[in-house]
Amino acid sequence: MIVPIFSTCIVLYLISIVFPSALVSHAISVMAVLAILISYRYVGRVVKILSGILLTVGFAVMLANGAGPLELLKSFGYMMNVLTLFALVPLMAIPMQIGHYGRDIQTIIHSRIKSSGSLYVLTSGLSHFLGVFTYLASLPMTYYAIRPAADLYPIRNKERFMSRAITHGFSMTTMWTPIAPILATVLEMTKVSWASIILFVLALAVLGLILDWAFGVMIGKKHSLDKEVESAQQEMAVAGSDSHYGKVWHVLAAIALLSVIVLVMELMLGMSFMLIIIILILPFGLVWSLFIGKGKEYGNLVKKHPAHYLPKMKDQFVIFLSAGFMITALRWSGADAVINLTISDFKDLVGVHVFIVLIPLIPLGLAFIGLHPAVALALVAQSVNPQILGISPQLLAVSMLAGAASSFLMGPYNATIGMMAGIVKRSPFEVSNWNLPFTAAFIVLSMCLLIVLQMVV
């Protein structure tokens, strides 16, 4: 039942984009309620508790303000756009998989590793590079591509070494890559264009990577390779080097092309960033697959995607739709205005500069109670109106994305930490603790950049 219901929700949302109508909107609300009811029994305890709280608050607010059955029903369905994006984003990784880009990049990486310091830098960089298109799939791709090389060095805790490098590199990607659902969510909630913040978040991502690499070089012991291994790597680098580097240029060209298309559509057509990505995912992946002669394989994997992937989204459907209901309830009742005034008083008390640098701590704190960063930021965006508070929407978006990246680094309940914990066979809390030093340093870095941006934005 889950696959047909989730699929219907997504199809109805896509129809509403092309043919917006009250009938389709009501159908989405009905399907959203069904999705919550059908999925609730299958989700974990944390999701049940959090979604229960969100639904209870939403119902309490609406009933206290005289809402009837129709108003309650129509309040469901918000954040369906985010769920649609989450469902479609993995399709962007298909060309990378069927084109065997990870295998060829692995050959190049192995030929260039000379010390444990360079191993860390290349692992973090590869995770970031692959994450631009494969997103979460970059975690296992990077781990299994690089892990054998870690055995060549006397690294005390190899799993911690790999986990840190991969999660640090990947988390920096989430702030700027066009296919990151968290980026689309922040832009949708703050009504800010990607073009207006791309330089800021890209600068923060690059500075974060440099900070991570400095950590890696300092922590990693710089041991040289055996001469036999080094000789084998040189032979590996020579053999087929042109074809391997050609694959790298494919990915770089795809990143540049997608970025240009998104910028043009955003600036020329006035479309929202999230809608642009939803529209582009399928055709962009198809054209890329046809370019490498894998069009048939792409079509086959796209057909299998709903049955394979949608059941994994039951937690997201329950928590996102519950949060969406509460947000709609706050707007309908006018309670959001009261929250904004309260936050405005707090901003006046501590000062705007302090208020801005504290925003990244909110999604990080909420991540430890189980809220997905996208849900946490949706709640933050609902509660923080930049016009009322007198702050720049662009600055708010950058601070929220910095907080999201921190949440991906340490939130023990999010998919990033959960997947990495499964790969290295450790508990999510242990993997989260491994990232504490870098996360603390990155938050300080983010706060410094936000202080600088307040002078120029």
How confident is the model over 388-435, as pLDDT tens digits?
777 889 999 999 999 999 999 998 878 889 889 988 989 889 999 999
Q: Which of 397, 136, 171, 359 is nearest to 273 (CA)?
A: 397
Q: Is the pLDDT of residue 112 over 70?
A: no
pLDDT at site 238: 46
Give the model confidence (pLDDT) of 148-163 as tens digits. 778 777 788 889 999 9
Q: What is the pLDDT of residues 286-297, one digit of tens each?
A: 999 999 899 999
Q: Six-digit token pair at 365?
A: 């704190």
Q: Are 87 and 313 in contact (CB under 8 A)?
A: yes
Higher pLDDT, 184 or 243: 184
Rounded to whole angstroms, the Cα distance separating 212 from 417 reads: 17
Lowest-confidence range among 11-15, 248-252, 408-412?
248-252
Rounded Cα–Cα distance for residues 316 and 182 (Å):
13
Q: Compute the radius of gyration of the chain from its Cα atoms.
A: 23
Instruction: Give the C-alpha separation, 18 to 15, whole Å.
Output: 5
C-alpha to C-alpha distance for 281 and 277, rounded to whole angstroms: 6
Instruction: Kindly report the average pLDDT of the chain as a whole number.
Output: 86
Q: What pLDDT is stored for residue 317 in this prediction?
A: 92
Angle ∠(314,317,319) on CA atoms, nearest 5:
105
Task: Give the integer Cα–Cα distance in Å for 252 and 350.
Answer: 44
pLDDT, residue 229, reads: 45
Sign of the alpha-carbon torsion through 422, 424, 427, 432: negative
Count of residues in the chain: 457
Give yes or no for a contact between 119 and 146, defined as CB atoms under 8 angstroms apart.
yes
Is the pLDDT score of 362 beyond 60? yes
pLDDT at 447: 93
pLDDT value of residue 236: 44
Is the model's pLDDT at 240 over the cut of 90?
no
Rounded to the nearest 10°, the torsion over CA 313, 443, 194, 301 is -30
Residue with tokens 């159908």: 27
pLDDT confidence tier of residue 108, bands split at 50, 70 and 90 = low
Least confident window among 17-31, 74-88, 238-252, 432-446: 238-252
Q: Which stretch of 118-132, 137-151, 400-414 has the lowest confidence by average pLDDT?
A: 137-151
What pLDDT shows up at residue 375?
83
Reference 194, options 215, 212, 179; nearest CA is 179
pLDDT in tens, 190-237: 889 999 999 999 999 999 999 999 988 887 654 444 444 444 444 444
> How high is the pLDDT of residue 220?
61
pLDDT at 296: 93
Rounded Cα distance between 213 and 63, Å, is 53
**Percent of the chain beyond pLDDT 70?**
91
CA 192 remoteness from chain centre: 17
| DSSP code per residue over 298-321 | HHHHHHHHHHHHGGGGHHHHHHHH
Residues 6+ apart with CB under 8 A from 119: 113, 146, 149, 150, 153, 220
Decide if pLDDT at 143 tops 50.
Answer: yes
Q: Does 239 score more than 50 pLDDT?
A: no
Q: Does pLDDT of 52 surpass 50?
A: yes
Contact of 126 with 248, CB cutoff 8 Å = no
Q: What is the pLDDT of residue 322?
A: 93
Count of Cβ atoms closer than 10 Å to residue 76 Cβ: 25
What is the pLDDT, as a whole number, of residue 111? 64
Pick from 69-78, 92-101, 232-241, 347-356: least confident: 232-241
For residues 98 and 137, is the Cβ–Cβ distance under 8 A? no
Prediction pTM value: 0.81
What proportion of the chain, given as a percentage, has pLDDT over 90?
Answer: 40
Q: Which two tokens stand for residue 32?
A: 């959203």
- Is the pLDDT assigned to residue 334 strictly greater than 70? yes
Of all helices (H) and strands (E), which one includes residue 150?
A: helix 138-150
